[in-house]
Amino acid sequence: MIKLLEGAQAPDFALSDKEGTTHQLSSGAAKYTVLYFYPKDDTPGCTIEAQEFNAALPEFHARNVRVIGISGGTEKTKGKFCSKYKLSLLLLSDTDFSVANSYNAYGDKKFMGRSYQGIFRKTFLIDKQGMIVRIFNEVKPAGHALELLASIDALGESGR
């Protein structure tokens, strides 16, 4: 597995949303893409994170930033999750975890003494050329959307 670093090319992907529409990283025209990986649809932390990103979508769009969430699950679980919490956020299904693997966002986890394989909560800020600008390895769901907006605003001030 290749370790991704800031400044590296982000792996492209093609994944489906809740309607079965395929989306690719490389097809976006936004100045930046926030690509966030979350463990599972409709779990407490993932719900908080998705609701905060969803509420902040107008602010991301005003900055020409698209937001994409990726987890396992199916088109059906994504549809139920979006419907239950009225999410208009773009959530994509990585059923075989191949995209999460390519972003080093999948691996060994432990919860309550149990070991298993799963998706790590991890976020990538990617520019329109597909370069990784920033990696957020230690993500806390509450406040993460605002953390991303502040990071994007700081990039604008630094001339990037």
Active site residues: 46
For residue 131, the tally of other CB atoms under 10 A from its CB is 13
Rounded-to-integer distance, Cα 97 and Cα 56, Å: 27
Q: Which residues contact 79 (CB under 8 A, 6 or more apart)?
A: 18, 19
Residue 149 to residue 34: CA distance in whole angstroms? 10
Tokens found for residue 118: 């799963």
Of 145, 141, 98, whose CA–CA distance to 125 is shortest? 145
| Residue 5: DSSP 8-state | -
* Closest to 81 measured CA to CA, from 71, 95, 96: 71
Distance (Å) of CA 132 to CA 14, 77, 86? 18, 29, 30
